[in-house]
Amino acid sequence: MTTPTADQALIAPPGLAGVIVADTSIGQVRGREGFFHYRQHDATRLARDAAFEDVWHLMIAGDLPDSGTSTSWRAKIADAAVLDEALRGALIDVLRRTASEDPLVSLRTGISAYGALTGMRPLWDLGAADRTEDAIRVAAVVPWLVTSAYAIRAGREPMTPSSERGVVANYLQLMGVEDPSPAAVQSLSRYLCLTVDHGFNASTFTARVIASTGADLAACVVGAIGSLSGPLHGGAPSRALDALDAIGSADRAYDWAVAQLESGERVMGFGHAVYRGVDPRSELLKATAVQLGGPTVELAVQAEAEVIRALGERKPDRILRANVEYYAGVVMQECGVPREMFTPTFAVSRVIGWTAHILEQCEQRKIIRPDARYVGPPPA
């Protein structure tokens, strides 16, 4: 088969929608079916029944661990989250310098500094075992960086993770939630498991493009965080909760949605680029939110029905339902995560998917280098 020239190359649709750019064994989103999976496992079922650490092992090692492997794996990621005093102090200084910025700025700057201070080498120069070690180390430090940045912004000293708590309970405690309840830990764990990976989204693809150059693993994750900072990708949970604030009461939800649509504004928290009906992540998070209870949950459930009614009337050619962001903000708020930390919390889980994709991309040893169609004035 001959390779087409630039003039003969296929022209991809805007946003590369529907274009397959790589093979992967990490997971798949089947949007028309309202289903997605991590490797060979139903992702929604995993989020409901499995521990966050075990899902992490599945993504990086390729299988769910047995009890013995799970114990050693938890010890491994707990050790990776512990920093020596010199490194910890240097990173805290970086976080202090960015305390007034968006939390994702602190996170990506902290990851960049972590990579430099620990001497991370280009992935191109590393064997598979060393690449995996870097992947675990970077993902393990993200929860501490996120919570430390928040503590500094709140005028508190960053805390050190406890080796006696799991990742999720540690995260809530480091965020400032004293003695988080089992319900809060389970609910946040479900959210984190649901958002570990989701196909070739913008941040994941960004991470893979950078990995294809052979750059170090921290650089790949920094690029992914930069992509995540865009409001069309990672900013929707807080915006969906802002919408509930604007609605105020369920009897105003329909009129609010109509006004949004008539003004050409997006109804945040509804519709998805892949799912053409029910978002399975939203369904589990809705059930989780109802278990947690509270006024915000009641408003969210009632408002959802009214917003869907307005969308159905104004956009009858499209099936628009609540997406993962709609109930994500509700669940995180009920668990004690501040609104400004919703997207950084998303990064705590998605970094695991990013690192899994980075490791997979390294196996291909080929740079991602597409072409572009020139549409400017002809050269002189």
List the catalytic residues. 272, 325
27: which strand partners?
38
Between CA 367 and CA 364 the distance in angstroms is 8
Dihedrals φ, ψ of 53, to 5°?
A: -60, -35
> Of 316, 283, 268, 270, which is closest to residue 34 (Cα–Cα)?
283
Helix or strand holding residue 37 (H, E): strand 35-38
Measured at the alpha carbon of residue 267, what is the angle toward residues 265 and 273, in degrees to the nearest 5?
105
- Provide CB contacts within 8 A for 99, sequence distance 6+: 106, 149, 152, 153
In the numeric block, which tokens belong to residue 334? Answer: 């009920």
Could you give the maximum distance between any two Cα atoms of the chain, in Å? 70
Between CA 166 and CA 171 the distance in angstroms is 8
Between CA 220 and CA 131 the distance in angstroms is 12
Task: Give how far Cα 62 sits from Cα of 41, 245, 356, 359, Å.
Answer: 11, 41, 9, 12
Query: Which amino acid would we find at residue 340?
Result: E
